Structures are given as structure tokens and as C-alpha cells.
Chains A and B, each alone.
Chain A
Amino acid sequence: MGFKGVLAELRYHPSAVIGLVIISLLLVMSIYAVIKIPYSEAVRLWRAGEVVWLENPRNAAPKWYNWFGAGLPETIKIETSRAEKAEEALGEGTRRVTYRLSFDFLYKRFPQELAIFFTPTYSKTPPQVVLSWRTPDGREIPLGTRTLRGEERYVLSGDSNLLRRLGRAPEESLFADPANPAQALRGRYELVLEVYTFEPGADLSAKLIVYGRVYGWAGTDHLRRDLSIGLLWGAPVAVAFGFTAAVGIALIQFILSGIGTWFGGVMDIFIDRLTELRMILPLLPILILVGMLWSRSIWVILATLLMFGCLGGQKNYRAMFLQAREAPYIEAAKAYGAGNFRIVFRYLLPRLIPVLIPGFVLAIPDYVFLEASLAVLGIGDPILPTWGKIINDAYSMGAQFKGLYYWLLEPAGLLMITGLGFAMIGFTLDRIFNPRLRSL
């Protein structure tokens, strides 16, 4: 049965069609990820630490939470360059510039955090700023004065002086509805910055960030990272790892079994011993050891897996080869004087390839999940984002206790869908290629 024949046959099995759709989507997702975010960029975004993501809320849910009426605030960013501005010279080179950063806050839940990013320009005397807050109901709350010597991220939520003065976390007390302090007051808020500069050319630009509780289509993690990058990039990593491991190991063992049974004698005994050795060696502990002691890189783990695969063949391949060895066409090949390697690689192995295919499709998700298992144990790749690594982050950061379900469920869902896709095709191929099952 040729490749086309198999494809045609697959069409009649609904589960295989679903599986094919899933895998095509997965491949599209992988290609999209690699093109949209090149490798080096993905690694930078994922591993450079919180600095890259300062403007994102921490542990924010995905945006689609709000479709189900979660009513979670989104992040609001307002810059002075776009704000209403009033300038006044006070003499002796001193100027006062007043910015009104106003925004509509239309949620009942409080924002997660408040921060202002300042970027001053001056040569000797640093600019100063007087901050005050206006609520929709017209109250004015002074927030103090700051002198800005360099770029600064002023986190209002983390200012202990402010907390003491307001008597409650700033991101709550500045938004609280006086009539119902457990809720935020909806309406137009305003942050007023009175900037005093003392030199010609001195200036201050600022950006207010009202951190929300939702971000992007995937949410963010404890390092404010956009999870969508990790989830997207997890796809090519998972596919590449699973595919290479499954194909590599299956082929190696297939060839070894073929050689062993064809040559027989010492070769067969040796390869059969190796097979038994592999059965006794525990794979997962060895991979954990390698990960802990040598390297956690996904490619080292892959290499170890392939080396492990080199230990002997498969008992069931061996049984099949023993049968195929006696076939008349092999006899014919021997009769016309074909060499040993010609017989093994041209006649014996190709004949049994169809038997190999279902097993190898079914093995792909096993290796994808193996990578995830290692990652869940904390032996994930230190550089690349993988789905397993995200689950590990979420689990070790207590996402299950804090109710951050999206953090666990998104990578888990992708793993599950991937696994199901390959398994559905694998089981169908098994039925197509395994004539004994087909006749049943």
C-alpha cells in the first residue's frame, strides 16, 4: 500500500481525520512561531528575566476570561507625551510643567499594581515632580514629591510610606469607592504631575501604568512573561523532540533487529543481550541523572535517548524478521547472488516498514510527554521554553493553590491535544497496516 493509498484509507476513519487536522494545526503553529519570533528573540524574551517584561502585570489571566464575565481590569498605559500639558516659567531658569494623565477605569476589581516610569533629561540639577491623584468623585490625594536623578520605576504599590499614609494598599485605596470600599469606583481618574525643571533643556517624561489582571490571549506568569511566547514556541520544540526521538530510536532498533536476525549466530546473541540490558536499565532515572549531573539541555537528553535506543533491537521486530527471512523472495535474492547488506537494506527492512509506522506515530507523543515529565521534575531545558517547563513553573509556584488555572491548563491542554492527535492517527494506522486486526 503506497503513501497515497494510506492517505486515501485514512479519510474513512473519522478519528484519523481529526488527528490529521490537529497535527496540521500543530505544524502551522510551529512554523508560525519560528517565523514570527526567531530563536534568539524567543530565548531573549523567555530568559532575560523580568526586565524585559516590566510593563506586564504579574500572573495575569488571559483576556478571554472577560468574555465569561470575569470583569478583570486590563492594563492601562498613559504617557506624558500624549497628555494634556501646561507650561509656566517661574523665573531664574525654573519652569513648571503640569501634565494631566487621565484615564477611564471601568472595572469593579482593583488593578494589580501601580507604577510610574520616569525618564529625566538634565545636566546638573535633576528635575523634581509633585504627584497628586484625582478620583472620579473629585477627591484629590497628594502622593508626595520625588527628585529624579536617573531613570526610575516608581512602584506606588511598593511604597511603604504611601501605604502607611493611606492605611491600605495604594492600588486599592486610590481606586476604592468611598461608599463601598471593597469595590473600585468607576470613572475618569487623573494623575497630575507638576514637574519642576531648573535648567534650560531639562525635561521629564513619564509613563503611568495601571497594571490590570488580564494580559494577551494566554496570560502571564510569575516573571510577568507573556505565556503566549512559551506556548507558541513549545510547539516546534515538542514536535522536533518527539519526532526525532521516535523516528531515530525506531529506525536504530529496527536496523539492529534486522541485522541481528539476518546474520544470526554471535551477532544475534550479542544484539539480543543488548536488548535485555536495555530492558533492565531504568530509562527515566538515567535521564534524570544525566539531566542533574551533566546537562539539562534538551539536545543532550535527546542524544542520551538515542544512545539508549542503540542498545539492542526490539523483541517483536525480531520475531517478524525471523518470519520474513524465510520468504521466497529473499530466497530468490540469495539465488541471484545479492550481498548480505543488499538483502538486509533493500529487501528485508523495506518489507517490514509498514509494521514500523504505527508504532512510531504512537511513540511520538510518548517522547513529547517524556520531555514534559523531565521538565515537571525540574530538569527542563534551561534555555528553550517548553510546555513541560511552563507546567513545572506553574506547579512549583503554586498555581494550583492560588487558583491560576490558566497557567497549568494551557500547556496541559496543548500537550493533551498534541498527544491525542498523534495517538488517533497511530491507532488508525495500526488497524490499516495490521491485517490481522483489519479482518476482525
Chain B
Amino acid sequence: MENLKRLFSYFFVRGLLLFLTVVVAIYLIIIIANMGGYMDKIKESEIMEQVYNTVRGNPALQRLSPSELKAILDKQIEIAKRQAGLDKPFFPWRSLEYLARGITLNFGRAEQMTSDSGSNQVRLILVERLPHTLLLWGVADLLVFFVSVFLALALSRRYGSLVDRLSVALAPVSTPPIWFYGILLILLFASALRVLPYGGFVDAPPPPTTLGYALSVAKHMVLPVLSVFIALIFSSLYSWRTFFLIYSSEDYVEMAKAKGLSSRAIERRYILRPTLPPIVTSFSMMMISLWMGGIVTETVFAWPGLGRLLYDAIQHVDTPVIVGSNVIYGYLLAITVLLLDFAYAALDPRVRLGGTRRS
């Protein structure tokens, strides 16, 4: 009971701290995305110009004296500004208002961008792009993750063999980012060989049958997935191999070997089990990174995902979309970090929360 209470208070404090961190992060993003309030000044001058034009264009107001006209203009501008919510200063009021809306996931309407179905709700725009990003990065990251973990486990058992040394020597291949290999693969397979598309999500016009559609999407996914694979596999392999090597030189593994256990049993029970927490961490961090998508990679491949959306939003200076995308990312990250703490406590018997005595 005492333990449970301590556990609960630990996670409460930890959750609170993480939440505060997310709030600060969101506030920073809001300030940067609004250029510290400068965006409001731009909007203000746009509103003023609009009002001037409508008032000047109104024949009924043409005969008024300049001072009367000015009074009308001022009033109209006042109303328009209040409508747009610009009557309060950015610091601190409007920025805090944005913050409150961001924290409560109330992103409102985009300023310029729309979803393909024509809505300007930020939520709908994000939801529409999400499946594309999940599909591409889910497939690519899972492929890299599982291939590298299992290959690394195998390599760590064959330490010093030719394959092992080769995989270590190839680790620097992972230095260039994904988009870099993307461009090279596009040059090779799309420009020179003309066997795969340059980019995009599906053929235009999209094939009518479901199977045709799926095949077309798969064809468009080959190059992006391949570039993710090439760019990440070797460094991933290298770090997992080192990791497993360190764990497989532990005394208890030697002990298990001495007992004459099969290498499969050793791998499963004595290497994978204690290394599970870091594996889970890396896996969940990878899953969160799905949210941002690869901004550059999706842009290079014209893939209509969240990364591309974020890039477009920044280009249009569409603040609500930028903030919305980042807020969700921050929340996902914070929640995952918290859940990982739980997972660690559950998976690793050595990690026990603050000062629990083992008898």
C-alpha cells in the first residue's frame, strides 16, 4: 500500500513536470511562429487596408467631410480588429490566449490552408494527412527496427566474423540523411531507369479498383521506404550490435553458457529480456517521430503527409497549423516518456522507484 502510494505520487509529480515542460515548449513555438507578435502587425495592416478600400468604395460615404470619414474609418477598423481578436496586445494576452487554446487542443481554423475535402479546420487537415505519414513511416521504420534488432542479435553472436566486421565498416553509410539517398534513388530509378515514379502518393488519375489503387500506392512507396532503409539500417545495426555485445558479455550470460543452454535460449532469456526496456524506449521514440514525418523526405518525394504539411504551413505562415502540429507532437512525446517510466518499472526488476528496499 505504502509502495503504491509512493508510486502514484511519483508519477503524479513526473506527469506534472512533463506537462509544464510541454506548456513552455508550446509557448515558445507560439512566440516563434508569430514572430514575437510581428505577425499580428501584418494582419492589422491587412485589415486596415481592407477597411479603407470598402469605405472608399462606398458611394454613400463619399460626401462626408474628412474628419467625419476618419471617425467612421477608425470605428470600422476598431470593429474589424476586435472581430479578428487583434484589439488586445500580443504580449501577454493574445499569446496566452493562443497557449490556452493550444493546450486544450482547440486549434481552430487554418488561415490559408484547407484539407482536400475543402475544410479549413486544423483538426481535419491534420487528420487527413495522418494516414499517409503513418503508412510510409510506419512501414519504413518497422522494417528498419525489426531487421536491425534481429540482425544485430545474430551479429553479436558471431562477433569478429567477416559479416560482423563488414557491417561495422558500413556504419558511416548512415551519415547522410534520408532525403539525400532519396534524391540519389530518384536519379537512379526514376530519371535514369524510368521504372519507378519520381514521387507522389498515387498515380494520376487514381486507378479505379481497390487492388489497382493499393498497387499504385505501393509502387510510390518503394523509393521512400528504400531510402529510409539505406539511410538508417547501418547505424541502427551498429548501435544495436554494440548494445547486445555489451549485454552478452555479462557474467550471467557466461554462466548460462556454462550451464550448456542453447544459444536460442540464451538470446531469448538472458540477452533480450534485460535489454527489453531500451528496445522498447527506442521503439516508442521511433513511433512518435512518425508524427512529424520526415519534413525534407516528404518534400523531396512530394508525399502528402504531415511533414510535408508542416513545411507547407510554414511557407504559408499558417500559424494555427504549425502550432497544432507541434502541440500534438509535444503531447505525444510527453505521454510516451511517462508511459516509458511505467514500462521500465514493469520490465526491469533492477529499476525500482525511489528507495524501495529489497529484502
Interfacial residues, chain A to chain B (CB-CB below 8 A) = 15, 273, 276-277, 279-282, 284-286, 288-290, 292-294, 365-366, 369, 372-373, 376-377, 391, 395, 400-401, 403, 405, 408-409, 412, 415-416, 419-420, 422-424, 426-427, 436-437, 440
Contact B295 A395 (CB under 8 A): no
Across chains A and B, the number of contacting residue pairs, with CB separation under 8 Å, is: 123
Q: Does B100 lie at the interface of the complex (its beta carbon under 8 Å from any beta carbon of A)?
A: no
Interface presence of B292 (CB below 8 A): yes
Residues of chain A within 8 A of B326, CB atoms compared: 282, 285
- Which residues of B lie under 8 Å from residue A426 when comparing CB positions? 172
Whether A377 touches B299, Cβ cut-off 8 Å, given contacts A294-B35, A416-B176, is: yes
Q: Decide: A280 and B245 in contact? CB cutoff 8 A.
A: no
Residues 316-329 of B, flagged 1 when their CB comes within 8 A of A and 0 if not, give 01000010011001
B176:A369 contact, CB within 8 angstroms = yes
Contact B180 A280 (CB under 8 A): no
- The answer to whether A405 touches B311, judged by C-beta atoms less than 8 angstroms apart, is no
Distance (whole angstroms) from the CB of B333 to the closest CB of chain A? 5
Is B329 a contact of A289 with CB atoms below 8 Å? no
Q: Among A280, A294, A409, which residue has its beta carbon within 8 angstroms of that of B334?
A: A280
The distance in angstroms between the C-alpha atoms of A437 and B244, with both chains bound, is 11
Identify the stretch in B70-78, B116-124, B181-189, B204-212 within 8 Å (CB) of chain A at 4 or more residues: B181-189
CB distance from A122 to the nearest CB of B (A): 52
Q: Which of B18, B35, B186, B296 contacts A377 (CB 8 A)?
A: B296
Give the residue among A281, A285, A293, A376 with the most B Cβ atoms within 10 A.
Answer: A285
* Given A369-B175, A412-B183, A422-B175, A289 and B169 contact (CB-CB distance below 8 Å): no
A288 to B316, CA, bound (A): 12
Contacts of A289 in B (CB 8 A): 32-33, 314, 322
Q: Give the distance in Å from the alpha carbon of A317 to the alpha carbon of B38 in the complex.
A: 38
CA distance A424 to B325 in the complex (A): 37
CB pair A419 B32 closer than 8 Å: no
- Judge whether B24 is part of the interface by a CB distance below 8 angstroms: yes
Give Cα distance in the complex from A266 to B192, angstroms: 60
Q: Which residue of A lies closest to B35 (CB)?
A: A293
Counting chain B CB atoms within 10 Å of each CB, the highest count among A289, A369, A376 belongs to A289
CA distance A437 to B190 in the complex (A): 42
Contact of A285 among B186, B249, B322 (CB under 8 A): B322
Q: Given A277-B21, A284-B295, A286-B29, A369–B322 Cβ distance below 8 Å? A: no
B24 touches A277 (CB 8 A): yes
> What is the bound-complex CA distance between A405 and B193, given in angstroms?
13
Alpha-carbon distance A365/B235, docked complex (angstroms): 14
**5 chain-A/chain-B pairs, Cβ below 8 angstroms:** A15-B169, A285-B292, A290-B32, A293-B38, A415-B176
Once the chains bind, are B180 and A416 in contact (CB under 8 Å)? yes
A279 to B246, CA, bound (A): 27
- Asked whether A403 lies within 8 Å of B191 as measured between CB atoms, the reply is yes
Within B141-189, the residues touching A (CB, 8 Å) are 159, 168-169, 171-177, 179-180, 183-184, 186-187
Assuming A285-B295, A289-B322, A292-B315, is B32 touching A280 (CB within 8 A)? no
Q: Quick one: given A276-B18, A400-B187, are A373 and B296 in contact (CB under 8 Å)?
A: yes
Docked CA distance A15–B21 (Å): 42
What's the Cα separation between A163 and B311 when bound, in Å?
44
C-alpha gap A281/B17 in the complex (Å)? 15
Least CB distance from B20 to A in Å reads: 8
Bound state CA distance, A377 and B314, in angstroms? 11
CB distance from A344 to the nearest CB of B (A): 26
Residues of B28-48 whose CB lies within 8 A of A:
28-29, 32-33, 35, 38
The answer to whether A440 touches B245 (Cβ under 8 A) is: yes
Distance between Cα atoms of A282 and B172 in the complex (Å): 25
In the docked arrangement, what's the CA distance between A334 and B81, Å?
63
> What are the 6 closest A-B residue pairs judged by CB atoms, nearest first?
A423-B172, A419-B175, A423-B175, A280-B25, A373-B296, A293-B35
Chain B residue at minimum C-beta to C-beta distance from A304:
B32
Beyond A276-B18, A405-B192: 10 further Cβ-contacts under 8 Å? A276-B21, A281-B28, A286-B32, A288-B295, A288-B314, A292-B315, A373-B179, A376-B300, A401-B191, A415-B180
Complex: chain B residue closest to A19, CB-CB: B172
Is B344 located at the chain interface by the 8 A CB criterion? no
Residues of chain B lying within 8 A (CB to CB) of residue A376? 179, 296, 299-300
- A424 CB to closest chain B CB (Å) equals 5
Indicate which residue in B171, B184, B334 contacts A412 across the interface (CB closer than 8 Å).
Answer: B184
Partner of A273, one of B21, B179, B198: B21
Once the chains are docked, how many angstroms separate the CA of A405 from the CA of B191? 9
Chain A residues with CB under 8 Å of B245's CB are: 440
Chain A nearest Cβ from B339, distance in angstroms: 15
Q: Which residue of chain B lies nearest to A394 when distances are taken between CB atoms in the complex?
A: B183
Residue among A284, A391, A401, A403 with the highest chain B CB neighbour number at 10 A? A284
User: Most chain-B CB neighbours within 10 Å: which of A409, A419, A437?
Assistant: A419
Contacts of B314 in A (CB 8 A): 285, 288-289, 292
Contacts of A424 in B (CB 8 A): 172
Q: Does B242 contact A (CB under 8 A)?
A: yes
Task: Write out the residue numbers on chain B whose beta carbons fall within 8 Å of the beta carbon of A401.
Answer: 191, 198
C-alpha spacing A53/B25, complex, angstroms: 48
Q: Tell me which of A400, A405, A419 contacts B172 (CB under 8 A).
A: A419
Across the interface, name the chain A residue whose C-beta is closest to B159: A440
Task: Kindly state the separation between the CA atoms of A391 and B186 in the bound complex, as whole angstroms.
Answer: 13
Contacts of B177 in A (CB 8 A): 369, 372-373
Which A residues are in CB contact (< 8 Å) with B184?
412
CA distance A285 to B238 in the complex (A): 28
Rounded to whole angstroms, the CA-CA distance of A419 and B190 in the bound complex is 25
Determine whether the beta carbon of B198 is less than 8 Å from that of A292.
no
User: Which residue of chain A lies nearest to B174 when distances are taken between CB atoms in the complex?
Assistant: A423
Shortest C-beta distance, A23 to chain B (Å), equals 13
Q: Which of A276, A290, A401 has the most CB of B within 10 A?
A: A276
